[in-house]
Structure 1
């Protein structure tokens, strides 16, 4: 049976608009059906049923023809899948928003969490950003001006706190060698440099008494630096006043700065990460996303055990760094700067890799995709054609069909086309009788009998013939005028022809 061309919806709906925003932890929980906590994928039984509350739970949808979805009860063709969520034991940076997080930290005070501008400048920028009709590029330019102004200010106008320069911590400069995503705030003391260093070392007095090496490490660096953990950043972002959020070029109705930090993760439906039964060995081949989620849950459990058992800070930090890396690789598996010790053995495909590039969802499946009733070949000149004609090879004309309804005027012609069948041009490939949902392929069966049974209202998918209007396009399509309608002229050669 040929595949269906489209599926009608139950209710006619018109999309009014699409808005994009940052997903909050609360909305993730609201749209999810289950809380995923189990790290194992299958039960230890003969049927290998997915474990309850695992990443392959049948309530997340189905990818099997035999078993329906346990949430909506529909089969594999009708169930679109359902989301779950994972609660992270410790917050981590979202790799996609990492630059935005650093940009916000450069804008706000590290003590009172307000934007580093005086009230007069704030009100001016608020008025400019309050215009809903501003284009993205204009907003970006205004935001850049705000960041540049805030970078020049070292002292907060509100609480008089000394702010330093915020940047990404590169490997080897005081980093623990674990995590890829780390933020450091360096305070350049200037005239007060000695006092700042003295105050900084005094904070570690009790620690220096037990371990004198700490003092050497503190005095070795010229700058007083502070590493911002995701917990520190989350606490700062939660304290940003609502009136200052528009100055970060964020819409308070759609997103909040605290949502840029991962505290909860969505588990996508099973239908977008199906398990494939292996022919070579017993069991299944799992999708990269499924395995990455399973590892995240495993690390979550390890950190939870460290919390309960009171493990050392190094073990705790190691688990946190690994959780940060796994969540980053889940989103973008081509992350640069990953330490060799933490590099995964087999490179997988993250969410970014599924969307970007030629084989991604946008270019590969949405903009350009494999479709029926289209063909391509080399184009050649033909001075014998008219300006509105295009030469179509006979080989193409037998495959590209046109559905024509049987009426009084054409019933005899349609009967002849059905008798000719799919191999003789002009002929027909399929017949769909009125009221029937199935098509009859004319390569097999008694074509003379089908021709005699042809009634008014039946649909005949006939071959392309001279004079049919077709859309013709030359690659590369640089603008809409590349695609034009032409009248087909069938010929026996193998290329498309045009004047």
Structure 2
């Protein structure tokens, strides 16, 4: 997780405007808006304003936007609760005695600790901390910390499981005696006395955690501090990963889900700023804050459960998590499995005329599924013959790529006789698949690479195996 300062260093501009385009007729992106071209470009005819490169060459540049109030990070929400259960909610020290601290620190210093050992150790530290109800450093009372609804954390400070009631707890309960006299309903609620840990409270608690306690939370203080788990600043991703699609049917553009979510977050930021300056009711600001938290969570993961009906989004959008996970996500859809050249698929059926290491490829597939062969002294005559045959006659060729040239020439058009005569050593001919070629053959679904085997191509022999009676 990047800290707010690291985000600022990585970014090129601060995004502040909720409007996407300026109100003139030229439809230019607004400066310091979410579509500012200093963050890269998503249009062919407009270069990036930071590096001057075009769409194909510019990798994009980040921006950042400051949140008016801190928010919980939906991805680190569980980790946030885990840390709160281990530290004192008054002085931010870890709830361990000096002997226990030393014992766990010695264990952590062992070289080559496995992941499972670290996980087991974290559970041990967490269990020890949760059992302790009084802080050893500031003598403050601590109770269980729980998730309460969507992105809300509560601390049941005076809840005890012991039979003997602590004097601090009884003193706290007695302070409500007058209130109970006048309103009997208060009595049943006293056992559930709790404090709300909002992101601002949690951020201040995390900032006060001493550096020597951070390793005991199983965190690396050099890589990230506990305070970095709370969002105070958001990175605005480059334009090339959230392009605007210019629509011909409707006059205007179709904006990406991430762009729309960012404009909503900036809009809510402005609303909170106005309400704070005009001195609106606290309840109003708290509602705005809850909504800002929800939008920041939906920006990261849009498949949240338990969203209240009054806050639920009208239209489903794709967050960052949805771009990465699942079958159509980045890892499985675009990185592990891709659409590539020189591969094909066809239905298969058994054939007694094929050898055990052969695979029958229909002529139609063999014409499309080509093999790029370099022209040399031994094959130049064959290559000339294939070029003359062209893409429609099998065996033929589909393309020629001349040496030191990036452009391919399609053999369906043009003078093939002339092209065949001009063929030089080192040129590349994309010829049709012919008997004797070696291909990798695999049965769908491809579950692991062990199912892929090399086979020799044989022309479809189904017609040869038909013997008339």
Instruction: Tell me the TM-score range normalised by the shorter chain.
Output: over 0.9
Which string of whole-angstrom CA distances, capped at 9 and with x for unpartnered residues, describes residues 54-109 of structure 1?
Answer: 00001011111111000110111111111000000100000010000001111111
Pick aligned residue for 2:366 from 397, 401, 422: 397
Pick aligned residue for 2:132 from 153, 166, 170: 153
> 1: distance between equivalents of 2:250 and 2:455?
53
Using a 3 Å threshold, how does the CA distance of structure 1 residues 492 and 40 change in structure 2: closer, same or farther?
farther
Contact 2:366 2:434 in 1 (8 A): yes
Which string of whole-angstrom CA distances, capped at 9 and with x for unpartnered residues, describes residues 380-427 of structure 1?
Answer: 333433333322222222112111111111111100000111111111
The residue aligned with 1:330 is 299
Pick aligned residue for 2:2 from 12, 15, 23: 23
Pick aligned residue for 1:53 from 28, 32, 39: 32
The residue aligned with 1:348 is 317
Root mean square deviation of aligned Cα:
2.2
Question: What is the CA distance between 1:194 and its match in structure 2?
Answer: 7.7
Secondary structure of the 1:417 match is: helix
The residue aligned with 2:449 is 480
Using a 3 Å threshold, how does the CA distance of structure 1 residues 224 and 131 change in structure 2: closer, same or farther?
same
Secondary structure of the 1:398 match is: helix
The residue aligned with 1:181 is 151
- Where in structure 2 are the equivalents of 1:290-369 lying within 5 Å? 290-369=259-338
The residue aligned with 2:165 is 192
Question: What is the CA distance between 1:195 and its match in structure 2?
Answer: 4.9
Pick aligned residue for 2:73 from 85, 94, 111: 94
Using a 3 Å threshold, how does the CA distance of structure 1 residues 471 and 286 change in structure 2: closer, same or farther?
same
Contact 1:394 1:492 in 2 (8 A): no
Question: What is the CA distance between 1:203 and its match in structure 2?
Answer: 9.8
Using a 3 Å threshold, how does the CA distance of structure 1 residues 217 and 193 change in structure 2: closer, same or farther?
farther
> 2: distance between equivalents of 1:36 and 1:233?
26
Question: What is the CA distance between 1:202 and its match in structure 2?
Answer: 4.9
The residue aligned with 1:116 is 95
The residue aligned with 1:19 is none
Task: Report the TM-score when normalising by structure 2.
Answer: 0.92
Using a 3 Å threshold, how does the CA distance of structure 1 residues 195 and 134 change in structure 2: closer, same or farther?
closer
Using a 3 Å threshold, how does the CA distance of structure 1 residues 108 and 204 change in structure 2: closer, same or farther?
farther
Contact 1:394 1:493 in 2 (8 A): no
Which string of whole-angstrom CA distances, capped at 9 and with x for unpartnered residues, describes residues 448-469 of structure 1?
Answer: 1111111112111111122222
Question: What is the CA distance between 1:277 and its match in structure 2?
Answer: 1.3
- Is there any run of 5+ residues in structure 2 with no aligned partner, and where? 464-469
> 2: distance between equivalents of 1:493 and 1:348?
51
Using a 3 Å threshold, how does the CA distance of structure 1 residues 165 and 442 change in structure 2: closer, same or farther?
same
- Where in structure 2 are the equivalents of 1:44-443 lying within 5 Å? 44-131=23-110, 133-170=112-149, 180-186=150-156, 187-189=158-160, 190=162, 191-192=164-165, 195-196=168-169, 198-199=171-172, 202=175, 220-443=189-412
Moved more, 119-128 or 350-359: 119-128
The residue aligned with 2:467 is none
Task: Report the TM-score when normalising by structure 1.
Answer: 0.87
> 1: distance between equivalents of 2:260 and 2:417?
57
Contact 1:200 1:224 in 2 (8 A): no
Contact 1:93 1:230 in 2 (8 A): yes
Which string of whole-angstrom CA distances, capped at 9 and with x for unpartnered residues, describes residues 142-169 of structure 1?
Answer: 2122212222221223333221000101
Pick aligned residue for 1:457 from 419, 422, 426: 426
Question: What is the CA distance between 1:216 and its match in structure 2?
Answer: 5.6
Using a 3 Å threshold, how does the CA distance of structure 1 residues 204 and 40 change in structure 2: closer, same or farther?
farther
Alignment: residue pair count? 458
Contact 1:197 1:224 in 2 (8 A): no
